[in-house]
Amino acid sequence: MATVELRDIRKTYSDEEIIKGVSLTIHDREFVVFVGPSGCGKSTLLRMIAGLEDISAGELLIDGVRANEKGPAERGLAMVFQSYALYPHMNVYRNMEFSLRLAGMPVAERRQRIADVARILQLEPYLDHKPGQLSGGQRQRVAIGRAIVRNPKVFLFDEPLSNLDAALRGQMRVELATLHRRLGATTIYVTHDQVEAMTMADRIVVLRKGVVEQIGTPLDLYHRPRNLFVAQFMGSPTMNVLPAHIVSVTDHAATVTTGPLTVTVPVDAGSLQPGAAVTLGVRPEHIGLDVAGAPQGLVEISERLGAATLLHVRLSDGRQIVVQTGGDNMNAPDSAVGVTPDPAHCHLFDADGAALDRLAAHPLQVGS
Amino acid sequence: MDQAARRIPVAAPVGRPSHARRTGGALLLSPAVILLLIWSLVPLAMTLWYSVRRYNLVDPTQVGFAGASNYVYLLTDPDFITALLNTAILVGGVLVITVGLGTLLAVLFDQSFLGRGIARVLVISPFFVMPTVSALLWKNLMLHPIYGVYSAMMRAVGLTPVDWLSRYPLATLVMIVSWEWLPFAILILLTAIQSLDAEQKEAARMDGAGPLAQFRYIILPHLSRAITVVIMIETIFLLAVFAEISVTTAGGPGVASTNLAFLIYSRALLQFDVGGASAGGVVAIVIANIVAAFLLRAVARNLEA
Ligand SMILES: Nc1ncnc2c1ncn2[C@@H]1O[C@H](COP(=O)(O)OP(=O)(O)O)[C@@H](O)[C@H]1O
Ligand SMILES: [Mg+2]
């Protein structure tokens, strides 16, 4: 059992508020990812939970007990740092043993634990190597091993994969997810990479400038972003956003127009009247190519990914959108195409960037 | 087979220009090398030559070969053993104090506190004082039994002032030389501490290491290289401490504070025995080389890791 509860946590550095009141409950065995652009305060928030930074205001509860005043070691958490922070003069075994030795655990028990962890992480051949003799991925595993041997209540990760190359990152992502399933430990994971967030999280917390923008499951955030920021931050390639005007409104839909496109989006338009300025958001994978109709734009660049093709289309009003089509799409640059956004997957945002309630639910979506 | 045979004549011309280039390079290097050789080999050769000669500046009748007698005379001289011991105490004592205290102070000066910039400048400043000046300063200003600052302080609390330089000459010298070299140790070690990755200390904190455990298991191993460097550089200079002794105790009382360097000086220029002094010089060179060999091996091992 390990839960973490944040109650209106704030952090102030010399008059400047970096974390502006975060409240959140992390359940037992949950994998929660803090995601947001660089400098939004993810690390600061994580370090406050770890006990490496003082909490300026608010309350932190671990397993229901106030932990604000507890030291980092007393909180029973383990952290994996971005730089790995391995002890360079100790070999892999000693690195993993350090916390156990300080805790006064008997030698035989230490050896047993380290052997178990080394087996899980495939580190057995490297136990007497120094960190300097290991590759990035191996160092990463040692850092994780050092966290696991302590048998912590909660794992904290601060951008653990950002020093790895793309291939290794993908591999470590799967390893971490497997490890989490196996150990079932409560985990808080910080990243600026929305792919990591989408693929690993049970729940994602999107942060911007010290404020929580939205909390939800990956598909929640993908299908029902609460505002323009979340909509554009989550999902790859990025959602197309186009300034638009409302043409007409019914109870269960709003028709908008932008450049050559007119879409009837199933949303609750609320008090918005025809003529109001809105933003239309539609992901590249939710735009189809219309072969029959009149062309609405020119293909400028086609990025061929193999499995899919990303067409960068210049619309007749000069705006550019990205359309994701099949890998076998034959459109070359300069070919004229018609584009049709799927209305059920369109998003509308009001002038403040807040999303209008979508009325079409996605079949996979778990109620929020 | 055919190909291999053909390759050999191709390889040969490749070797020749590189050989020519090497000779050319050696030619261009030679002025510097020859200058250095003259600089170091000629004095060495002359020292070796004089060390086997009878040569006394106040007795021109003493000439000719002395054989090993200069060495025998030196090595059996009880003063020489004392000087050797004093050198060891001086070097060892100063090393222990500067490295020990230097490490602690470096850790302290790494913390942030009010006026840290000024404090750092102050702690470094003794390094800029010339050895003769700082020795005079300690002798007359601080430790003088009548008008020294410490004597005044002792009198103020009702104690009898101590004439440090005649009662504890060697210990006092160790103190003075440590004062001169502490800034150097702090400077090197502080720089080294500042290069310690902050996340490593944080990882140690998460692992349950308190300040002492962090010092013992994280900071000290991180400093080991810098400490070896400090030890090596200081040893080279401390083996040859001279000005401080000359200014404060002149090696006395008796030979209580005479080290090897000062013994050679006193043989040559106080007793005018050039032969004996040269023998001492040769012994000093041998000792310095033995120490240097040990140090270099230790440093090389430490830098490798
Ligand atoms: N010790 C500090 N003193 C002052 N400002 C800080 C300190 N640490 C971080 N900050 C500021 O807090 C903000 C959030 O930093 P951080 O939590 O590291 O962001 P990230 O989301 O990239 O991990 C940044 O703007 C940074 O400048
Ligand atoms: Mg960060």
The CATH number of whichever domain residue A256 belongs to comes to 2.40.50.140
Cβ–Cβ < 8 Å for B176, B170: no
Task: Give the torsion sign (CA, B90, B92, B97, B102).
Answer: positive
Cβ–Cβ < 8 Å for A226, A211: no
pLDDT the model gives residue B164:
82
Higher-pLDDT residue of B250 and A224 is A224
> CATH code for B77-272?
1.10.3720.10
pLDDT the model gives residue B299:
74
Please give the mean pLDDT across all residues of chain B.
Answer: 85
β partners of residue A61:
A5, A66
A41 with A159, same domain: the answer is yes
A48 with A80, same domain: the answer is yes
Contacts of residue A60, Cβ cutoff 8 Å, sequence gap at least 6 = A4, A5, A6, A7, A9, A48, A49, A66, A67, A68
Cβ–Cβ < 8 Å for A268, A284: no
Domain ranges of chain B: 77-272
Cβ–Cβ < 8 Å for A199, A173: yes
Cβ-Cβ pairs closer than 8 A, A with B, add up to 60
pLDDT the model gives residue B12:
45
A3: exposed, middle or buried (Cβ count in 10 Å: 0-12, 13-18, 19+):
middle
* Residue A358 lies inside a defined structural domain of this protein: no
Place of tokens 């730089």: A83
Structure tokens at A77: 């958490």
A197 with A248, same domain: the answer is no
Nearest Cβ partner for A78 among B197, B202, B206: B206
The CATH number of whichever domain residue A164 belongs to comes to 3.40.50.300
Q: Give the ligand 1 atom nearest the CA of A44.
A: 17
What residues of chain A lie within 8 A of the CB of B203, using their CB?
A: 79, 81, 85-87, 146
Contacts of residue B206, Cβ cutoff 8 Å, sequence gap at least 6 = A50, A51, A52, A72, A73, A77, A78, A79, A99
Yes or no, beta carbons of B207 and A99 under 8 Å apart: yes
A48 with A174, same domain: the answer is yes
pLDDT the model gives residue A1:
67
Task: Give the torsion sign (CA, A222, A223, A229, A235).
Answer: positive
What is the Å distance from ligand 1's center to A38 Cα? 9
Higher-pLDDT residue of A363 and B217 is B217
A294 with A345, same domain: the answer is yes
* Overall residue count recorded for chain A in this entry: 368
pLDDT the model gives residue B123:
87
Q: Which pLDDT band holds residue B236 (cuts at 50, 70, 90)?
A: confident
Please give the C-alpha separations between residue A69 and each of A49, A58, B212, in angstroms, as whole numbers.
11, 12, 21
pLDDT the model gives residue B4:
44
Enter the pTM of the model: 0.80
Measured CB to CB, residues of chain A less than 8 Å from chain B are: 50-52, 71-73, 77-79, 81-83, 85-90, 98-99, 102-103, 146, 150
pLDDT the model gives residue B5:
43
Residue B17 has pLDDT above 70, yes or no: no
pLDDT the model gives residue B63:
79
Q: What is the ipTM of this complex?
A: 0.82
A168 with A316, same domain: the answer is no
Nearest Cβ partner for B199 among A81, A90, A150: A81
What is the Å distance from ligand 2's center to A190 Cα? 8
* Residue A113 lies inside a defined structural domain of this protein: yes
- Return the SS3 of A41: coil
B121 φ, ψ (degrees, to nearest 5)? -60, -45
User: Distance (Å, rounded) from C-alpha B93 to C-alpha A1?
Assistant: 57
Quote the Cα angle for A325-A329-A335, to 5°. Answer: 100
A121 lines ligand 1 (CB under 6 A): no
Q: Closest by alpha carbon to B189, among B116, B106, B113?
A: B106
Q: Give the ligand 1 atom nearest the CA of A13.
A: 4
Average pLDDT over residues B237-243: 89
pLDDT the model gives residue B6:
45
Closest chain A residue to B222, measured at CA: A89
User: Distance (Å, rounded) from C-alpha A291 to C-alpha A247?
Assistant: 26
* Residue A322 lies inside a defined structural domain of this protein: yes
Q: Closest by alpha carbon to B288, among B304, B256, B264, B266?
A: B264
* Residue A363 lies inside a defined structural domain of this protein: no
Please give the C-alpha separations between residue B121 and each of A331, B74, B272, in angstroms, as whole numbers.
70, 45, 44
How confident is the model over B110-130, as pLDDT tens digits? 888 888 889 888 888 888 888
Residues of chain A with confidence (pLDDT) below 70: 1, 361-368
Structure tokens at B15: 């070797």
β partners of residue B53:
B65
A119 with A208, same domain: the answer is yes
Structural domain boundaries, residue A128:
4-231
A74 with A175, same domain: the answer is yes
User: Distance (Å, rounded) from C-alpha A253 to C-alpha A264?
Assistant: 6
* Residue A368 lies inside a defined structural domain of this protein: no
Residue B87 has pLDDT above 50, yes or no: yes
In chain A, the number of structural domains is 2
What is the Å distance from ligand 2's center to A78 Cα? 17
Contacts of residue B154, Cβ cutoff 8 Å, sequence gap at least 6 = B160, B161, B162
Pairing of strands A57-62, A203-208: unpaired
Average pLDDT over residues B127-142: 88
A63 with A199, same domain: the answer is yes
pLDDT the model gives residue A206:
95
A218 with A82, same domain: the answer is yes
